[in-house]
Structure 1
């Protein structure tokens, strides 16, 4: 990754860039192949003034797991022992919490461990495909039950930048993933 890209990524992590600047960074990155997404990835938000900035981190988001193109777990959160477990995103009321202003509340943070436990799953809730997004054909995660697609671009050999396109939001949400381990959880995801 070039020095300029590293600098922009650092600024996005610190919330110093607006959507247009983060989009320029995303658009400057090369495509990601579906086969290169296999594994468990640690996630972090990249802040651009989006309503979701910081929300996943508030609930201790771990990342994502890609077992195969047909078996994708888009939301991993740690269990009581710190092991990542899969959560079915359709059972997490992020939209409602954002509309009601609860997503950043202490009450929501205290209630989340119960919701996380209720929403645990062993079933994948997304798929990976090569699709065009922003003029580039790249690995794209398609949620099974939500109007969301995540486009991925390569930052380096072990990290990617993601752009979440969520129907109902007027701009994308950005995040980064760093490879956690090359192997899947082997059925321990839920």
Structure 2
């Protein structure tokens, strides 16, 4: 994920979870790492209801919390067995 840029929210049922930037600067969805995209739903996480991104082709859920009008804090759960259940924390800024 060296060139990971962010996520693209087209609609609640059409999310591109892994947007990358090529070495030439072009943005593109990484459909190999996240086949089928994803969708948004309201789900509980640690006793709080949050907006969650459910990946269609992977056992992954991202949970989001707004930090300010242009910033989301995120935590990715699930993933591959090699992740050993570890969560990945990230920040998204609106561009």
Range class of TM-score, shorter chain: 0.7 to 0.9
Is the CA contact 2:22–2:28 (under 8 Å) kept in the aligned structure 1? yes
Match of 1:62, SS state, is strand
- Out of 39, 44, 47, the residue aligned to residue 135 of structure 1 is 47
The structure with the largest strand share of the pair is: 2
1:176 and 2:91 aligned: yes
| Contiguous gaps of at least 5 residues in structure 1 | 1-55, 93-118, 181-190
Q: Report the alpha carbon displacement of residue 78 of structure 1 after superposing the two structures with TM.
A: 1.5
| Greater relative contact order (CA < 8 Å, ≥ 6 in sequence) | 1
Number of residues of Structure 1 aligned to a counterpart in Structure 2: 92
Aligned to 2:64: 152
Equivalents in 1 of 2:22, 2:89: separation in Å? 25
The structure having more radius of gyration, on CA atoms, is 1
1:63 and 2:6 aligned: yes
Q: TM-score scaled to structure 1, two decimals?
A: 0.45
Equivalents in 2 of 1:179, 1:141: separation in Å? 17
Aligned to 1:78: 21
Alpha-carbon deviations, 1:26-74, whole Å to 9, x = none?
xxxxxxxxxxxxxxxxxxxxxxxxxxxxxx3xx2111110010111000
Q: Report the alpha carbon displacement of residue 155 of structure 1 after superposing the two structures with TM.
A: 1.1
Q: Report the alpha carbon displacement of residue 80 of structure 1 after superposing the two structures with TM.
A: 4.7
RMSD: 1.9
Equivalents in 2 of 1:171, 1:63: separation in Å? 20
| Contiguous gaps of at least 5 residues in structure 2 | none
